Structure 1
Amino acid sequence: MFAFSTAFIMVVLAEMGDKTQLLAMAFATKYPWKKVMFGILVATILNHFVAIAAGIYLHSFIPKDIVELVASIAFIVFGLWILKDDELGNEAEKNHFSIFWTVAIAFFLAEMGDKTQLATVALSAQIGADMLSILVGTTLGMLVADGLGILLGATLHKYVPDRVIKKFASLIFILFGAVGILHAMNIINLY
């Protein structure tokens, strides 16, 4: 029970105001909340499993700066994609699997090298044998924190015009991408 509760509390607190919580909010303004939450669930399970099983060794194969750089570029692409009204966006809304994959891939990339993933690696290295409790705790913690972001995003969608939300969400993605690139290139220090 210690591993589960520690993992849960750690992730809920670390995720508050994090880029993935803002990502959940942005996706909830565009897509149905259930599809967003399912994408988050699958991405989180996969990401945190990787963190628990192999995250300790990941830095020896792929430098954290490279992972952060790729994720940051993806954020800028997602930000620009939000602004573009084309058939691809309409197809994603018609095809339920496209929404799921868009959310799942964005979350998986956003979590790579993120503080919640690194905290999961550290916790699993510290606690060791109770991997399932850590995975369940970190996943539920992520769902609770991002669920709050989804609730806020869905509420905003009811009261704020779509074009304003799109511009704001795009700006957030591009801003996080730009800051991530600067950090990956050691131009700015975030920690």
Structure 2
Amino acid sequence: MEAFLASTLVVAVAEIGDKTMLLAVLLACRFRAPGAIIAGILLATLANHGLAALAGAEVAGLLDGWWFRLAVALGFLAMALWTLVPDRLDDDGDARPSRFGPFLTTLVSFFIVEIGDKTQVATVALGAQYHAVLTVAAGTTLGMMIANVPAVLLGERAVRIVPLGLVRIVAAAIFAVLGAVALAMLLR
């Protein structure tokens, strides 16, 4: 249960103001098809975070030693700093709707944009820390949905309502606490 709740909380907070949340807002404004967009986000996140949690658990199983645990702890601390840097989407100037429709456009774009994103990196680290692929993937996916469903439903109003600077600070604090706890466990 700890792995699920930690995974949900970390990703839900870290995702607010993230580039994939901004992508959700963009897609919602462009397509005005919330059901298809939400379904695309869900499936893309399940696939991406499932692979990320599996990679984290497998790498941790291969490298389960003091140095690897130190790297995971330092990774959480690095994510705390990374979270403080605001994300933005590059505007390509193309306002035309995709020929693939809202579901497929969302599915593919979310999967690709999430590669290397801080929430994917966090999922790898959580998979390495907890060795519970399904639990971590389910938790991080729920966290993504908690952050992105309101963004889809509210569209651009969502980014005006939520104080993104404060959210980034809270997310950074959560990552820092996870890193500090991991370091404390390592040093005892």
TM-score, normalised on structure 2?
0.61
- After superposition, give the CA deviation of every residue in 1:125-159 in whole Å (9 maximum; x if it has no partner): 0111x221111110011011011211221768xxx
Are positions 1:40 and 2:41 aligned together? yes
- Please show how residues 11-22 of structure 1 align to structure 2 within 5 Å: 11-22=11-22
CA distance in structure 2 between the partners assigned to 1:105 and 1:90 by the alignment: 12
What SS does the aligned partner of 2:155 have? Answer: helix
Query: 104, 114, 124: which is aligned to 2:107?
Result: 104
Relative to structure 1, the CA distance from residue 140 to residue 90 in structure 2 (aligned partners, 3 Å threshold; closer, same or farther) is closer
CA distance in structure 2 between the partners assigned to 1:40 and 1:113 by the alignment: 16
- Please show how residues 1-191 of structure 1 align to structure 2 within 5 Å: 1-31=1-31, 32-54=33-55, 79-80=91-92, 82-83=94-95, 85=96, 89=97, 91-92=99-100, 98-128=101-131, 130-153=132-155
Paired residues, what number? Answer: 127
CA distance in structure 2 between the partners assigned to 1:30 and 1:3 by the alignment: 36
Segments of 5+ residues of structure 2 without an aligned counterpart are 60-88, 159-188
Q: Are the equivalent residues in 1 in contact too, given 2:52–2:121 (CA < 8 A)?
A: yes
Amino acid at match of 2:104: W
Segments of 5+ residues of structure 1 without an aligned counterpart are 58-74, 93-97, 157-191
CA distance in structure 2 between the partners assigned to 1:4 and 1:90 by the alignment: 35
- After superposition, give the CA deviation of every residue in 1:157-183 in whole Å (9 maximum; x if it has no partner): xxxxxxxxxxxxxxxxxxxxxxxxxxx
Q: Are the equivalent residues in 2 in contact too, given 1:33–1:154 (CA < 8 A)?
A: no
CA distance in structure 2 between the partners assigned to 1:90 and 1:117 by the alignment: 25
Relative to structure 1, the CA distance from residue 90 to residue 136 in structure 2 (aligned partners, 3 Å threshold; closer, same or farther) is closer
Query: Could you tell me the percent identity over the aligned residues?
Result: 41
CA distance in structure 2 between the partners assigned to 1:51 and 1:151 by the alignment: 27
- After superposition, give the CA deviation of every residue in 1:110-136 in whole Å (9 maximum; x if it has no partner): 1100100000100110111x2211111
Relative to structure 1, the CA distance from residue 49 to residue 123 in structure 2 (aligned partners, 3 Å threshold; closer, same or farther) is same
Structure 1 position 53, deviation (Å): 1.5
Relative to structure 1, the CA distance from residue 90 to residue 139 in structure 2 (aligned partners, 3 Å threshold; closer, same or farther) is closer
Q: Let me know the Cα RMSD of the aligned residues.
A: 2.1
Structure 1 position 108, deviation (Å): 0.8
